[in-house]
Amino acid sequence: MIIAIDGPAASGKGTLSRRLASHFGFSHLDTGLLYRAVGEALRAKGLDPADEPAAVTIAETLDTSALDRDRLSGSAIGEAASIVAAIPAVRAALLDLQRRFAHSGKGAILDGRDIGTVVCPEAEVKLFVTASPEARARRRHRDDLAINPSVTYESVLADILKRDARDSGRTVAPLVPAPDARLLDTTDLDIEEAFQAAVRLVEAAG
């Protein structure tokens, strides 16, 4: 079984995906980490995240075993990832990797922006996890404070809105719900409530 979970930044889809994978005994891939890793590698080399040839080269040689969620967290890398993810050739370079992961083992959960629409349109279960921009900014701001105590809620909200516009407006694999995706709005839910709701949606889909 393949479970595709899509949604905007800080909607809670990553946490939900990890918990669902543990609950059902499935493997899990946070595809956003792939783009964050490419963006971080470009920044480490002092290169522009919009440098297409360099970004493609990094994407084609990406070592998925070296993905570190803690190291790749933070708004700056998230911004670079959003820029990188808008490059069609980068998305093409990472597409086969994601599809091979999805079809390995007894079950897989992939979360990202285009899993149900592009990467795995054949997924048996598709969830689109969302929340209001303000709720997502509050969550991201709380997380970012642990890294940068001077970060403001206003700057995080502005970043969220900018990323939403970029992710939804790009010409290749824009962030949109799949026609058969089940919507899960987590604006007014804590993580446990959101998890239980997600379990019900998966189980209802078989």
Annotated binding site: 7-15
Q: Which three-class secondary structure string do you get for the chain?
A: CEEEEECCCCCCHHHHHHHHHHHHCCEEEEHHHHHHHHHHHHHHCCCCCCCHHHHHHHHHCCCHHHCCCCCCCCHHHHHHHHHHHCCHHHHHHHHHHHHHHHCCCCCEEEEECCHHHHHCCCCCEEEEEECCHHHHHHHHHHHHHCCCCCCCHHHHHHHHHHHHHHHHHCCCCCCCCCCCCEEEECCCCCHHHHHHHHHHHHHHCC
Which residues, other chains included, contact 146 with Cβ-Cβ below 8 Å and sequence gap of 6+? Answer: none
Place of tokens 């790009």: 170
DSSP bridge partners of 110: 4, 29
Residues that constitute the known binding site for ATP: 7-15
**What distance in Å separates the CA atoms of residue 199 and residue 37, rounded to the nearest whole number?**
29
